[in-house]
Amino acid sequence: MELELSPEQRGQIELIALYAGKTPVEVLLEAAEQLLDRAAGVVPTPQEFGAPPILSREQLEQRFAQMLRTQRRR
C-alpha cells in the first residue's frame, strides 16, 4: 500500500517520529493499528499511549523518600 502525503503531513510525521525516537514508518504503523483497534472497539491502556506505568505503593514511598532527601541537601 502506498500513501501520498503532503509535504506538511510528511514533516509533521517526521517530527512526531523524532520526538518518539521512532521511524516515520513505525509511527504510521502504530497510528494505523490504533485506528483499527478503535474501529473494533478495543480500548487501549494508558501504557499504549506512552504513559508511565502505575507505581506500587512501595515504589511511591521510595520516590517520595528520595525527594525528601534531595531537598534536605539543598
Domain containing residue 55? 7-73
Domain count, the chain: 1
Residue 2 lies in a domain: no
How far is residue 31's CA from residue 9's CA, in Å, rounded to a whole number? 14
Would you state the pLDDT for residue 73?
Answer: 73
What is the pLDDT, as a whole number, of residue 51? 75
End-to-end Cα spacing for the chain: 58
Strands (E) in the chain, as ranges, are: none
- Chunk the chain into consecutive blocks of 10 residues (it has 74) and report each block's average pLDDT, rounded to whole numbers: 92 93 94 87 74 83 88 74
In a domain, 21, yes or no: yes
Phi and psi at residue 45, in whole multiples of 5°? -85, 160
